[in-house]
Structure formats: structure tokens, C-alpha cells
Amino acid sequence: MHMADALISPAVGGTMLAATTGVAAYSIKKLQNEMDEKKIPLMGVMGAFVFATQMINFSIPGTGSSGHLGGGMLLAILLGPYAGFLTMASILLIQALFFGDGGLLAYGCNVFNLGFYTCFIAYPLIYKWFIRKGVTSKRIFAGSMASALVALQLGAFSVVLETLLSGKTELPFGKFVLLMLPIHLAIGIVEGLVTAAIVTFVWRARPEILEKAVNGEALGNISMKKVLTGLSIAVVVVGGLFSWFASANPDGLEWSIEKIAGTTELKAPDGIHKILSEIQSKTALLLTFRTLSTKIGRIFSFRCRMNP
């Protein structure tokens, strides 16, 4: 659900960036009460895990589309809403600057769509409702599934609304929303399953982490070795092993755009869009390596077909 700059007008991009900056400033202020030396490494390893999962797409059977995890619910549940939102903002900033994934003008939109709805709506209003009488594996599963589905639907609808307000006539509101919501419903199911699995692992290893996050408290003297080790291994497996099986199909957003406009990418206008695109092309060094590796892979595949 990483929006490109071509989908956003400067007015909408600037407004959403201001809103995101405001939420980030508020989160920094609130986080002072629960930050300690144990929280920082947990934020780091969770950020690395979500970063890795966002970069790897899985196929959605029967659609020709693919999806990737957002990770916002996972961050909110394990870190709390404030640390979760700031971690998501950091992840998306790195992806935009160094991987060219998501536009700079659309940065505020992307953080809001992936971070705000998960951390400040789905987490407190849905997930916490399911665990209000105590944490069990069944309640973690139900809360994770329900909150992930709602958060993904809100984020997908927000994308459609942002393109509407940006005046993108190539994407009529009715058609766009009828494609975006169902495809992200399927993605939300996978999101909920993965979220439930990771949260259950942490709960069984160190239930105090979830309790501290819910109450907005510092982690204190909780031993983090088992949790950090397990999550670190998950980062290596996802980034190293699963990347070989990543789907090449367009993601839910690109698929929806292609169904309507006949292309996965709309043409960006000149002006601020062009300026930001040039900046991003200079900073996204890793995008160059990724593009090169993709071309090498296609050449190798072609030669194998030619020389069986």
C-alpha cells in the first residue's frame, strides 16, 4: 500500500505530511514515560522485521495480484501505539529514501495509512477490546485478525480518498474502492494470521511485554534475550529465505490501478513531483542494485529458456 507521488497532489501530500508530523510529535512526547534501555532494541528488531516483511510480496491466488504485510498492528501490540507509530514512520522513511519504495510527496499519506489507523484506531478500539478480560491465545488470535482486517480496510479506503481529493480522474472513486477493499481484505487475512503468530510467540516467551505495552509502561528489568533472539532469527529467515519465493505480481494497489487505468503506474506531473523524483533517484542507491539484480535474473531466465 505504498503510494507513489503520481497518485497525490501537493496539497494532499502537504496536508497529510503535516498531520503525520503532528502525530509523530505527540508520540515522541508520550513515549518519554515508557522509554528505557530495553525498549530501544525491541523497537530496532521489530522495525527490521516489519521492514523485511514489507519488502516481500506473497501471491493472492486467483487474482494475479500480490500483497505484503503492513506490520502496523504488530508494532502497536508489542511496542505500544506511540513507539509503534514512530517505528513505522522510520521504516517508511528508509524505504522511500534508500529503496525508492513509496514517494517522498506521498510519505505522509503512507505513514498515516499504515501507521495511524493501526496504532491509534484498530489497536485501542478493537484489539484491546478483545483482551480486556485477560490475554489468551484465542483472544490474541481473534483480536489480531479483527484489528488487522479493519486497519487494512481503513488504510485502503484512505488511499482511494486521497487520490479522489488529489483530483486523479484516471481512478474513478467507485471503481477504485470496489477493487481496493476486497483485495486488501484478502491481504488483511494473512496480516492477521502472521500478527497472531508473532504476538503469541512473544506472549508465551515474555507476557510482561504485552502487559507493559497495553499499560504504557517501561519494560524495566524484563529479560529480552529469548524474544530478541527469536525475532532476529525471523528477520534473517524472512529477508534471506522468503525473498527467493517473493511474488512478482503487482501488489494490491498496483493491481487495482492497472485494472482501471491499464497500467500499474500513473504519469507524474512536472513541478514538485519532478523535483522530488530527482531527489529520490539520487538517494535510492539500493534501488539501482535491486533493478540491476532483477535485470540479471531476467537475462539468466531467458538464456535458460533458449538453452534448455
- Asked if 286 contacts 99 with a C-beta cutoff of 8 angstroms, the reply is yes
265 or 190, higher pLDDT: 190
Residue 127: inside a domain, yes or no? yes
What pLDDT sits at residue 274? 85
Q: Which three cell numbers stand for residue 2?
A: 505504498
| DSSP 3-state of 33 | coil
Buried b (16+ CB within 10 A) or exposed e, 139-159: bbbbbbbbbbbbbbbbbbbbb
Statement: residue 288 has pLDDT above 80: no
Residue 32: inside a domain, yes or no? yes
- Asked if 72 contacts 87 with a C-beta cutoff of 8 angstroms, the reply is no
What pLDDT sits at residue 285? 65
Residue 224: inside a domain, yes or no? no
Residues 6 or more apart whose Cβ sits within 8 Å of residue 246: 56, 57, 58
Find the CATH number of the domain harbouring 25.
Answer: 1.10.1760.20
Residue from 215, 228, 199, 201 nearest 77 by CA: 199
Statement: residue 293 has pLDDT above 60: no
CA atoms within 13 A on the CB side of 18: 6
pTM (predicted TM-score): 0.89
Give backbone dihedrals phi and psi of 224, rounded to 5 degrees, phi first.
-110, 0
Residue from 27, 9, 35 nearest 103 by CA: 9
- Asked if 71 contacts 50 with a C-beta cutoff of 8 angstroms, the reply is yes
Least confident piece of the model among 20-24, 121-125, 170-174, 279-283: 279-283
C-alpha dihedral over 42, 44, 144, 256, to 10 degrees? 180
Residue 121: inside a domain, yes or no? yes
What pLDDT sits at residue 291? 47
Residue from 165, 157, 173, 65 nearest 117 by CA: 157
Q: pLDDT tier at 302 (50, 70, 90 boundaries)?
A: very low
Residue 109: inside a domain, yes or no? yes
What pLDDT sits at residue 286? 55
- Asked if 106 contacts 5 with a C-beta cutoff of 8 angstroms, the reply is yes
Residue 287: inside a domain, yes or no? no
Which amino acid is present at 208? E
Q: pLDDT tier at 297 (50, 70, 90 boundaries)?
A: very low
Q: Give me the residue label for grid cell 501537493.
A: 10
Q: pLDDT tier at 139 (50, 70, 90 boundaries)?
A: very high
| CA gap 84, 116 in Å, rounded | 9
Q: Which three cell numbers stand for residue 145?
A: 485478525
Q: Could you tell me what percent of the chain has a pLDDT over 90?
A: 66
User: Domain range spanning residue 204?
Assistant: 5-216+238-272
Q: Which three cell numbers stand for residue 190?
A: 494473512
- Asked if 6 contacts 267 with a C-beta cutoff of 8 angstroms, the reply is yes
Residue 289: inside a domain, yes or no? no
Write the pLDDT tens digit of every residue in 173-229. 999 999 999 999 999 999 999 999 999 999 999 999 999 899 888 888 888 888 999
**Exposed, middle or buried by CB within 10 Å (0-12, 13-18, 19+), for 109?**
buried
Q: How many domains does the chain have?
A: 1
Residue 306: inside a domain, yes or no? no
